[in-house]
Amino acid sequence: MRYFPSERALWFALIVWVLVPGMLVAMLVLLIREPSPWWVWLLAGVLPALIQGLMFWIWFRTGYTITENELIIQSAFLTWRIPLASIKYVRPTRSPLSSPALSMNRLEIRTNKGFAPLISPRDRAAFLQLLRERCPQVEIRV
């Protein structure tokens, strides 16, 4: 079993570490300048903090594990288990579709059932090598 963390792009890092915390600070500054009811404070402080928490969860818990029989994809509270025997092909893509990937440098994993998650392992070469070893029937279109 080997774990591959997701590659992390600069644009995603800016969202996680600058944009969302900046929104939280801006909301709090506005609240301090303008007296507001308690429920506004609660909403303005809690909602951005929850969003920030989700972004941190995605940042620190997006990765891919190849076991003897499965590819396990994890992102925040979501987990997908793909039997290695069901993988038809893997190909590079830069699709912007929502996926458990923190970079646009992605791999599409196409299965027999048509499921095609997009992932972005940091060490792409080692990921593909291990996938070839554990899943010899897979076609790798790199």
The kind and range of the H/E element at 42 are helix 38-60
pLDDT at 29 over 90: no
Residue-wise pLDDT for 102-139, tens only, equals: 999 999 999 999 888 999 999 999 999 999 999 999 99
State residue 93's pLDDT score.
95
Comparing 21 with 121, the larger pLDDT belongs to 121
* Residue 14 backbone class (left: φ over 0; alpha: ψ -120 to 50; beta: rest): alpha
Query: In the predicted model, what is the mean pLDDT of residues 74-102?
Result: 95
The kind and range of the H/E element at 25 are helix 20-33
Q: Which positions ≥6 away from 132 have C-beta within 8 Å?
A: 138, 140
State residue 26's pLDDT score.
81
What are the Cα distances from residue 71, in Å, to 2, 44, 78, 109, 112?
A: 10, 40, 14, 10, 14
State residue 20's pLDDT score.
78
